[in-house]
């Protein structure tokens, strides 16, 4: 290459800057962004809202090889819609299958034994899924001192960080009593 055919420092710098900008833009486009849904919006979309206990969690593969989880729930009370049985299943993307874990950012995660309120809708296959990914799942906890029961919606950050820990603390402070969540859900469903 002759000296005058070589790119100058300005051209190299511009090319590097363009590549950095393109990579940063691509990363931004792949980020997950959720628009927060209110209790009223969740209730409006949900076909069924149940207060339930998680009985089982089992991951499997579908016919295309994707990992998903079946969650068995035992209904305590139905707040909206109709459930024909006391026990039923919902599905969620991702899960732990053997030594492989597949995560779907923002997906509702359920644990055996926990008490939840789930806002559910049917997917195209006719299976129940949580509305708004994790937004439609509230954990129930009891304050040891007062005995009051609260509903807390987990925060979806996609990663563990000090900021995510502060988000969780803020969510606990913004929790609703179980009775308030039920009232708001049923008022919307009328």
User: What CATH number has the domain bearing residue 74?
Assistant: 2.40.50
Domain that holds residue 135: 41-189
Does 106 fall in a domain? Answer: yes
With beta carbons less than 8 A apart as the criterion, state whether 32 and 71 touch. Answer: no
Distance from C-alpha of 116 to C-alpha of 55, rounded to nearest angstrom? 11
Distance from C-alpha of 166 to C-alpha of 174, rounded to nearest angstrom? 12
Closest by Cα among 7, 5, 33, 3 to 18: 7
- Angle of CA points 39, 161, 99, to nearest 5°: 90
Does 28 fall in a domain? Answer: no
pLDDT at residue 165 in the model:
47
With beta carbons less than 8 A apart as the criterion, state whether 27 and 39 touch. Answer: no
Does 161 fall in a domain? Answer: yes
pLDDT tens-place values along the chain, 190 residues long: 555 555 554 444 333 333 333 333 343 444 555 678 899 999 999 999 999 999 999 999 988 889 999 999 999 999 999 988 899 999 999 999 888 888 888 899 999 999 999 999 999 999 999 999 899 999 999 999 999 999 998 765 444 444 544 454 455 545 899 999 999 999 987 7
Q: How many domains does the chain have?
A: 1
């Amino acid at each position: 290459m002759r000296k005058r055919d070589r790119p100058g420092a300005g051209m190299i710098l511009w090319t590097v800057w363009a590549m950095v900008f393109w990579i940063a833009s691509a990363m931004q486009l792949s980020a997950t962004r959720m628009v927060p849904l209110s209790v009223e919006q969740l209730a409006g979309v949900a076909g069924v809202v149940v207060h339930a206990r998680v009985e089982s969690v089992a991951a499997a593969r579908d016919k295309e090889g994707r990992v998903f989880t079946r969650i068995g729930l035992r209904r305590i009370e139905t707040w909206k819609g109709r459930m024909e049985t006391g026990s039923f299943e919902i599905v969620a993307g991702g899960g732990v299958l053997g030594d492989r874990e597949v995560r779907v950012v923002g997906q509702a995660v359920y644990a055996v034994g926990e008490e939840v309120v789930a806002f559910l809708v049917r997917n195209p296959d006719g299976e129940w899924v949580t509305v708004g990914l994790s937004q439609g799942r509230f954990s129930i906890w009891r304050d040891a001192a007062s005995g009051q029961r609260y509903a807390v919606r987990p925060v979806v950050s996609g990663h563990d960080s000090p900021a995510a820990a502060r988000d969780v603390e803020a969510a606990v402070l913004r929790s609703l009593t179980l009775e308030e969540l039920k009232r708001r859900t049923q008022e919307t469903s009328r």
